[in-house]
């Protein structure tokens, strides 16, 4: 788990940490880092939280990356309408990962992505 300050450097800090955690995951790590970049960017852009917490949970169903922040406002993926001002990043993430979601947690919310691979380059 890594706690990143909510400022511009947070995105790079979260990506770098995730790269270390996922080690030799190859292309699957690139997808994970792209997803965590978007999720941390959303914390920066849409909340006034002081920090975001990023963690990786490995289980029999796959590997999940979670980003927790202290805002209770859940994200919504855009529908691709040209007039929409936001949500395109989550739509992109949704196209790259196996699944994603958001749920309230004590004192805020967690936004998670289920990674599409297991580090071998093969889908799980």
Q: Could you tell me how many residues make up the chain?
A: 124
Answer yes or no: are the C-beta atoms of 71 and 108 closer than 8 Å. Answer: yes
Helix, strand, or coil here: 81? coil
What is the reported pTM?
Answer: 0.88
Helix, strand, or coil here: 1? coil
If one counts the domains in the chain, the total is: 1
d(CA 53, CA 86): 23
Highest mean pLDDT pick, 26-30, 79-83, 91-95, 115-119: 91-95
Structural domain for 52, as ranges:
2-114
Give the CATH number for residue 61. 3.30.565.10
What's the pLDDT tens digit per position in 10-34? 999 999 999 999 988 888 889 999 9
Nearest to 62 by CA among 5, 107, 116: 116
Nearest to 32 by CA among 10, 17, 53: 17
The confidence score (pLDDT) of residue 123 equals 44
The answer to whether residue 124 is domain-embedded is: no
Higher pLDDT: 45 or 78? It is 45
The answer to whether residue 88 is domain-embedded is: yes
The answer to whether residue 65 is domain-embedded is: yes
């Amino acid at each position: 788990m890594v706690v990143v300050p909510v400022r511009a450097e947070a995105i790079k800090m979260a990506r770098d940490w995730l790269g270390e955690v996922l080690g030799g995951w190859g292309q699957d790590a690139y997808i994970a880092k792209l997803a965590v970049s978007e999720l941390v960017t959303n914390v920066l852009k849409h909340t006034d939280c002081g920090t975001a917490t990023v963690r990786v949970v490995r289980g029999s169903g796959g590997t999940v990356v979670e980003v927790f922040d202290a805002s209770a406002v859940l994200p919504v993926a855009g529908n691709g309408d040209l007039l929409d001002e936001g949500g395109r990043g989550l739509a992109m993430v949704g196209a790259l990962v196996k699944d994603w979601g958001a749920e309230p947690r004590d004192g805020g919310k967690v936004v998670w992505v289920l990674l599409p691979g297991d580090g071998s380059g093969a889908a799980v």
